[in-house]
Amino acid sequence: MTSKLNTIELSVVIPLYNEEENIDYLFERLITVLDRLQTTYEIICINDGSKDKTLKYLIDYHQKNSTIKVINLSRNFGKEIALSAGIDYTMGAAIIPIDADLQDPPELIGELVEKWREGYDVVYATRRSRKGETWLKRLTAKAFYQTIGKMSCVPIPSNTGDFRLLDRRVVEAIKKLPERTRFMKGLFAWVGYKQTSVMFDREPRFQGNTTWNYWKLWNFALDGIISFSFLPLKVWSYIGVSISFASLLYASFLIIRTLIFGIDVPGYASLMVAILFLGGIQLITLGIIGEYLGRVYEEVKRRPLYFVREQYGFDIDKV
């Protein structure tokens, strides 16, 4: 194990879910780039419960090229868990996660490696532009990064995905983080170390359709915010104090008005508005508390992050 850690310089980690249309072009571009670097490398592909022929194509490529290794998870665990699984199996001195849809260009790997050799522990790829995305997608992405940037105590780079280079010491630090709800962009930032960025223009998806609809993106954003900020919990204390203070002022106004002008018949409409408003505030508060409590529930069960059904290209004792 130690000898292999010393001989492999780069480990490229690729989570895949129903990506059969992109595999041929992905390996064509990726292997060309890695061979040009004249270094030792491995390509670790994680099949995250694909329902198409992704696994078959990966196995075929592994049989032709031993540097391509395959992990077949027992079911679909989601991209963040699949990425964690791939990182667990890496043996390179530097690790590069990359998406299979080719929106993150493999040709940028050379620049990432150059920065790493200059002494940086983390080199992340920041999107200068996002081609092929709707204005709504760009707007929501910008809003998310601005929101989490203001709410999180850990600086999370904006317009930056999982595509980056991680030094082995950073990977070993990430492997020590045990949480089940894994927002990898946040974890990469949380560990710290010496970081820098490389700018690039993100291309449209090469083939196929993305499985990330707006509902999944909303839940993904929610996971990120809740994992790295207590502000949603804290803010309701201030809202409660503000409402109580406003209620006290209004009560004082009613007392003074009654003393001066006598008793007045209260309005039904205003009473119902106040009740519904406060009821809504309480339900929102309970919902946010429930989100945090649900994540605590996931953590205390301490289930394994994933199960591997099959693996190709790894030592037997790696399991």
Distances (CA, A) of 286 to 143, 203, 227: 25, 41, 18
Domain ranges of the chain: 8-213+304-318, 231-301
3-state percent helix, strand, coil for the chain, nearest multiple of 5:
50, 15, 30
Residue 18 dihedral angles phi and psi, to the nearest 5°? 55, 55
What SS3 string covers 89-149? CCCCCEEEECCCCCCCCHHHHHHHHHHHHCCCCEEEEEEEEECCCCHHHHHHHHHHHHHHH
What is the predicted pLDDT for the residue at 258? 66
pLDDT above 90 covers a percentage of the chain that reads 0
Average pLDDT, integer, range 121-143 = 70
Cβ atoms of 102 and 210 closer than 8 Å: no
Residue 209 vs residue 164, higher pLDDT: 164
For 286-315, what is each residue's pLDDT tens digit?
A: 777 777 777 777 777 777 888 888 888 877
What's the DSSP call for residue 279?
Answer: H
For 216-238, what is each residue's pLDDT tens digit?
A: 666 656 666 666 666 666 676 67
Question: Degrees (nearest 5) of the Cα angle 115, 119, 122?
Answer: 65
Is pLDDT at 318 greater than 70 in this prediction? no
If 0-12 CB within 10 Å is exposed, 13-18 middle and 19+ buried, where does residue 151 land?
middle
Distance between first and last Cα of the chain:
13
Is pLDDT at 133 greater than 80 in this prediction? no
* Residue 179 token pair: 């949480």
Is pLDDT at 144 greater than 70 in this prediction? no
Q: Indicate whether this model's pTM tops 0.75.
A: no
Q: For residues 196 and 227, what is the distance between their CA atoms, to the nearest angstrom?
A: 23
41-47/122-130 β-pairing: unpaired
What is the predicted pLDDT for the residue at 35? 85
Cβ atoms of 47 and 72 closer than 8 Å: yes
Q: For residues 164 and 57, what is the distance between their CA atoms, to the nearest angstrom?
A: 25
CATH number of 8-213+304-318: 3.90.550.10
